[in-house]
Structure 1
Amino acid sequence: MTTARRPGMTRSAATAVTTALSALALLWITDLLARDDPSLAGGPLGTAAWWGTAVTLVLQSVALLRSHFRATVTLGCVAGLSLVLAAVFPSGLFTVTALPVLVGAFLAGLTGAWRDVRRWALASGVLVATAHFVNGSADGRTGGSALVMQAVLQAALVVGLPLLPASVIAAQRATRAAQQEMLAAATRERDAKVSEAIALERAAMARELHDIAAHHLSGISLMASVVARQTASAPGEARSGALEIRKQSNAILDDLRRLVGLLRDVGHEDEGVKTLDTLPHLIETARITGARVDFDLRSDERREPGAGVSPLGQLAAYRMVQESLTNASRHAPGVPCVVTVDDRDPHRLRITVRNAPPGQRARPASRGTGYGIIGMRERAALIGGSFDAGPTNDNGWETRMSIPRESGHDIPERPA
């Protein structure tokens, strides 16, 4: 016996026992009422009709034990037992057999497929109507046409009425199951996309690491072999080779630090390439939100703005301005800000973001965490630059970043 079927069998057993006890209690109450109302009499306690009804109720309840397997077939069996009782022991106690049929109809509508439920409900209704007609005919107190109407009404109430709430509950269960399946499918799809993205990111990182390290490590290996042979014969050349190995090792470390810095920037909402050329768009976006920001570009007419500044340096500059404007809007909302890019120094690029002191009515939107300043300082250190931030003489706030230009590169001049 599988574990999955045990809960269903347990529920069916509980339903069968409860139905049997309730039906037998109703039979006993009916016998008590019949002592004061002879019209309810169907057979005193202990007669064949009474015992026949009690046995039928027990058999109907036992049939409900299989409701977890085929509830529709169970409904037909329970209704058929009512017809057998009406044919063998017709009496006024027959009405009590409607209780197990009610339970069977409800279980069939709750757990059965609607196509099977319709077929078995119709068959069970016919059995219940026939049983009521047979029992009433044996009684002889009701006319033929009236008895037919009562039989049809009995079948509609006993079989059809429980199907309505059961069908509604079954439909709600099916809807919840479909929603959970859709949610599970969406979750699986999301996990698959995440796994694919991680795999692609790992492949990109592997290629980047290969490009960074392969050339330098190959050269280091060759130079180390040469140095090993020249240690005794040519100490001076061996020393020069060792210094070159050190230079190449430092180059690898610098490139790896830059790669780590780029990886740390993954996850921002704007994933495009950020340079000094995109600063005006950033400032315009801040103005759209209501900020008062001025942009001051001080460039050398002999070269293009930002010439000689590495892509990582330009990204650091962009993030510094972005974070500074965010801090200004958080701690001094509504005050004017000035973004200054000084590109006149041939060796360094200097960027300053300054905001006026907050007014007396200005209230900071939030206190912040302080990680923005730390992040800007770390970005500056990553590219060999410097960063500083602090209050101004007029109680405003200023952030300053200095970014070195790449050494060993010719800075192109602006075309005439």
Structure 2
Amino acid sequence: MFPLSASIVSVLQPFACLFTAPTLAHLHVLLTGTLLAQGPRTVTAALRAMGLSAERRFERYHRVLNRARWSSRQGARILLGLLLGMLPAQVPIVVAVDETLERRKGVRIRAKGMYRDAVRSSRSTVVTCLGLEWICMAVLVPVPWSTRPWALPFLTRLAPSKRANEAAGRRHRTVVELTIGMVWLVSRWLKQRRWILLGDGSDSCIQLGWEVLAAQATLITRLRLDARLFAFPEPVPVGRRGPKPKKGGVLAKLATREEEARSRGEEVAVQWYGRPKALRLLSEVCLWHTPGWPPLPMRWVLVVDPEGRLPTQAFFTTDLNMAPARVVELFVQRWSIEVTFEEVRRHLGVETQRQWNELAIARTTPMLMALFSLVCLMVYRWRERWETLPRSTGWSLKSHATFSDCLALVRRTIWAEDIYVNSTSEQDRLLISPDRLDRLLEQLAATA
């Protein structure tokens, strides 16, 4: 085995406190091999990429995932601190949360369930798939090699199905309940710093709104057009006995105020999924009420397209003073986490791992998600290479880099430090050992 890349070791150094020395060395091999491997990201594929096909004690690398004692939660805390160092000054902390489906099947995978496959489903057809559901939190970072902020994952949690929890004798916790636990965890890590949470339709509930407010954060997500909205209660006269009213009169449903938004709404130009778009926004502050929970004060924003190409949508925020255009622009940035999910599947092999052990399953996918952020962190430290980062060709000109460009740069750096480490500038040609040449050719010949 060759010496590990100095670039990889420097990025992984803050995590050294979580592992013993042998486990850390094995982890370095697994992560470096995962970056270099093509195709499925199994432990054996990582070992082949590192030139360890003849390793007789290969089970030691499996033990990093299925037996070794280390805390993935503490690793997420360290990674969050590193990612916050990438944020420019005065840029607010914005965290996107979303669920993603990992298509997996097998008798020994106990946490699996039947879920809606958002990629294969459409508005008219719902496709369900057997797999694992993950809740992922990612920091939105404005990277210098792209025009849009990237969603860099730092905390990923498995959400077992209801049937799996019942079979294990555990109380089933919904996605919202698990998300609330993650919100309090992040708030504790940020030490009461203000931050913004971007959710989707599944996060549109009063319970999550109250918990986010208690954690000193701000929630921005979708709002149903038929939500029950109420005015604020009138002041109670002095000396009046009895319970105080918690809400005022009933307000009209947002579904009935579309024409009002078209005529009276403020016309603004916002960045709508990468391009400027003129929209009309109607916004007010009121109370949102659901039986069983106290009314939640919030600001709703009704969005209509003057051209009629986009369906009418509604969003809300728990920050009553936030500008309506700011609410829309922040929610649109949440789409970056969907891009991240696609990139980790295409380039980092999510859904190709083959672990059956419960602990290994709970660790592998979060590690692949975190590896996406570590690659971006490595590229962020190589400022001198940003200008040449996009890989353009004669028939395709790229003005901005993508994750494939970042991963290619990391791979080239690792290969260069490995193959040419013993070469000198006085030689006319570069000599490569037969072992390293065979390994390089094997990787170049492998299919993606």
Answer 1 or 2: which has greater helix percent. 1
TM-score, reference length from structure 2: 0.17
Question: Greater Rg, structure 1 or structure 2?
Answer: 1
- Considering Cα pairs closer than 8 Å and 6+ residues apart, tell me whether 1 or 2 has the greater RCO: 2
